[in-house]
Structures are given as structure tokens and as C-alpha cells.
Amino acid sequence: MPQYPVDDNFDYSVGKEFRLDGANFHHIINVRRHKNGDLIVLRPKDGSFISGELVSVQKESCIICVTGIKPAVQNYLKLTLAMPVLKGKSNDFVIEKCVESGVTGIIPVFYNRCVPESSSINKKRERWQRIIEETFKQCMAPVMPLLMPSISSKELFVTKDITCLIADVHAGDRLDAKLFTDEIIVSIGPEGGFDESEKTQAAHNGWKSFRLSANQLKAETACFVIPAVIRELSLFS
């Protein structure tokens, strides 16, 4: 059963009724074809879990009555993926899978070895945002990931105030959950990998390099496998 993102500016107390319109209404009525009496799951931005009953369908909106509420997941790891901007539509797949794997933020990064394309990054961002929203509905994540502005690797590697990790198949150290805090950013390089200037800048600013295994993963694969491993390890750190 999918969930639907809603605003925080409503009293979601049990028994309260409120109106849904726009994309949520379209998906509930025209895509999922819900009927009166069906259970509807809602997620405010605060991460709480709201269950409701569909009580009325109108021309362009529907009325939901709140039947239950669960508080937001406590101490949910803030996990940001610094994602390489890849050729074509490769990032579409990356974004869908990294949302499923539990990232809470995505930064599109132009690393030095990314291959620039003539297509507008703004058009890609619009598509990526739609993918994030649709995947969030389906995977039942407690928090909808935030798509952040695109930056260069030079801008990325000045970050130093949180736990900063850089995935490098040539690194000497394995991924160590002892490094984890409640906020992590992990950098995944493009198909050509990081160049030496990027590795030097990252190390200078305290980024910790690690390798996941002896195998060299494709950039697309690493972008969702590594966040999934980090989130799982964080449960035991």
C-alpha cells in the first residue's frame, strides 16, 4: 500500500477530517481507485505515520478522516548521497533505488571525471524530483529525501562539519560503523572514479575513505548498495 505526503499544517488528531486534492487526489482515486471506507496512509513532513479512512469523493478532491497516528521514527539517520551526474537517464535508476535504500538527501555532483552533456540539468532535476516523490509513496520511507542543488566536487569536499565518507575501491580501510554519527554524507564517484586532486582535497578536509569489497561496483550500483549498507550498519553502531 502506498503512502501519500501531506503538509504539517493540520491537526491530525484521531477523528479529524481534512481534504486532499491535486496529485494525491488523482493517485488515490484515478490510479489506485480507492473507494469510500478504504484505508489511506499519509506522511506529514515530520515523519509521523497517519492512517485514515476515505469518507467522501468529490469532483476534484476527497475527504479523509484520521483513524490513527504513530509518531515519527526517533533518531532516524540523516544520510545524504553525493551522487555523480551520469550520462543519459542513468540517474533516474540511481535515484529510485537510493530512495528505496534509505537516503534522506541527494546532492547531484559534477565530479572531475563526469561527462558533461548538453541537456539542461534543470529538466533532469524536475524529472528526478518526480521520481523521488513516486518512489517515496511506494517504499514507505519515513522521510521524503530532499533533492539539493547541483554542485561541483570542489564545492562538495569543503564539507567538514558532519561525518563525511568517500567510497574508493582503492582505499585501505573497510567501512567502519564506529565512524558513524547521526548525520552522514557519502560520496560516490563517477564511472572513471575520483581523480587525485579530489582525493587530496577530501582527505585534507577530514573525509574518510573506505572500500566496501574487493569488487569494483558500477557507479549506479554503488549509489544504492552503499547507502543501504550504511543504514543497516548504523542500527548496530
User: Per residue in 55-96, pLDDT tens?
Assistant: 999 989 999 999 999 887 777 899 999 999 998 889 999 999
pLDDT at 54: 94
Q: What is the mean pLDDT of the chain?
A: 90
Q: Which domain holds residue 29?
A: 3-70
Are residues 124 and 181 part of one domain? yes
Predicted TM-score (pTM) of the model is 0.84
Which has more confidence, 235 or 143? 143
Are residues 102 and 57 part of one domain? no
Q: Where among 70, 88, 116 does a domain terminate?
A: 70
Are residues 90 and 152 part of one domain? yes
Q: Are 44 and 143 in contact (CB under 8 A)?
A: no
Mean pLDDT of 179-190: 93
At 18-61, the pLDDT tens digits run 888 988 888 899 888 999 999 999 888 888 889 999 999 998 99
Confidence of residue 214 (pLDDT cuts 50, 70, 90): low
